[in-house]
Amino acid sequence: MALNLVWLQSGGCGGCTMSLLCSHAQRLFAQLADAGINVLWHPALSEESGAEALALLEECAEGRQPLDILCIEGALLRGPGGSGRFHLLSGSGKPMTEWVARLAARAGHVLAIGSCAAWGGVTAAGVNPTQACGLQYENDHPGGLLGAAWRGRGGLPVINISGCPCHPDWITETLMALALGAFGAQDLDSFNRPRFFADHLVHHGCMRNEFYEFKASAHKPSDLGCLMENMGCKGTQAHADCNTRPWNGDGSCTRGGAPCISCTEPGFEEPGHPFHETPKLAGIPIGLPTDMPKAWFVALAALSKSATPRRVRENAVADHQVVVPAVKKTGLK
């Protein structure tokens, strides 16, 4: 029996939908259908609109149409004054927050698509005049629109597929696992993110790892070196598999020369410093690798820098390879 899926877009840019469509888009619906998932409605992809779409959503909200998976993209706008009337679902006269709460009460599983839906994200930054929040979190605090105790009919809390935008495969693999009945509470981390991507760090598989090992750092955006020491990269702290599962098979932020801004984590949107700068204390980066005590890092960095090969040192501050690896016999038989 097919699982019915409804996707709503709330307070956000629609970037997670764009990310999804930029990867294997030509087979998206067929891929989901093959897994037994029927997309009842998506605001950007479905033919139904206007009264037809509202009637479908009302059927789901009242329980006349089974709703197995509810995907919410974008933050939930509770303002002004908790009324939710900053964002009305077009044509309905009702706040999107009301629609989401009604539909979530009927859904087997609810997925927060992207960091805005998970934590509030960019939409909740600054003074947050719209009172934006996530589905079940407000920044890193449990609660959000649905409340910390909320559970779907399937017994799980909101599944937070965070990221800005989130990787398309994180969405489809989670949906596939749910369709197979192969996804449970043990598959979620402490922030209710799917562990298949959240148990990794962006640092894993980074093409700049040799520069990191020798602490050979970039000093400007075009440099080839490690982006952690000077350029604000948080890849050693960010939970995601971006560099072992690159976008469209080839791209990631660090591969493109941009630092990882840790967009899968709550509060990434307000780091307290420019994204492209690394805050330091006594010359030591404040944001160190998640598993490494500060004293160990300092000792390792000093040793690594003293042993840096000329090739690594010079290439780190160039925009192209200026010293190539030496050619010599390995001595292996």
Q: What is the pLDDT along the chain (333 residues), one digit of tens a residue?
A: 799 999 999 999 999 999 998 866 668 888 899 999 999 999 998 999 999 999 999 999 999 999 999 999 999 999 999 999 999 999 999 999 999 999 999 999 999 999 999 999 999 999 999 999 999 999 999 999 999 999 999 999 999 999 999 999 999 999 999 999 999 999 999 999 999 999 999 999 999 999 999 999 999 999 999 999 999 999 999 999 999 999 888 889 999 999 999 999 999 999 999 999 999 888 888 888 887 888 888 888 888 888 999 999 999 999 999 999 988 887 776
Cα(333)–Cα(272) distance, rounded to whole angstroms? 54
pLDDT at position 24 is 64
Which tokens belong to 57? Answer: 């959503």
In degrees and rounded to multiples of 5, residue 83 shows phi and psi of -80, -25
pLDDT at position 17 is 95
CATH 4.10.480.10 domain position(s) in the chain: 203-333
Closest C-alpha among 105, 101, 56, 39 to residue 76: 101
Cα(89)–Cα(102) distance, rounded to whole angstroms? 13
H helix or E strand, kind and range, residue 177: helix 168-179
Task: Mention the CATH class of domain 203-333.
Answer: few secondary structures
Cα(226)–Cα(90) distance, rounded to whole angstroms? 47
CATH 3.40.50.700 domain position(s) in the chain: 3-198
CA angle 263, 265, 269 (to 5 degrees): 55
- The type of residue at 107 is A
Model-level pTM? 0.94
Check the CA dihedral 72-180-195-243 and report its sign: negative
Cα(112)–Cα(130) distance, rounded to whole angstroms? 19
Helices (H) and strands (E) in the chain, counts: 11, 11
Task: Mention the CATH class of domain 3-198.
Answer: alpha beta
Cα(74)–Cα(8) distance, rounded to whole angstroms? 9
pLDDT at position 27 is 81
Residues with Cβ < 8 Å from 198, sequence gap 6 or more? 189, 191, 239, 240, 264
pLDDT at position 296 is 80
Are 221 and 257 within 8 A, CB to CB?
A: yes
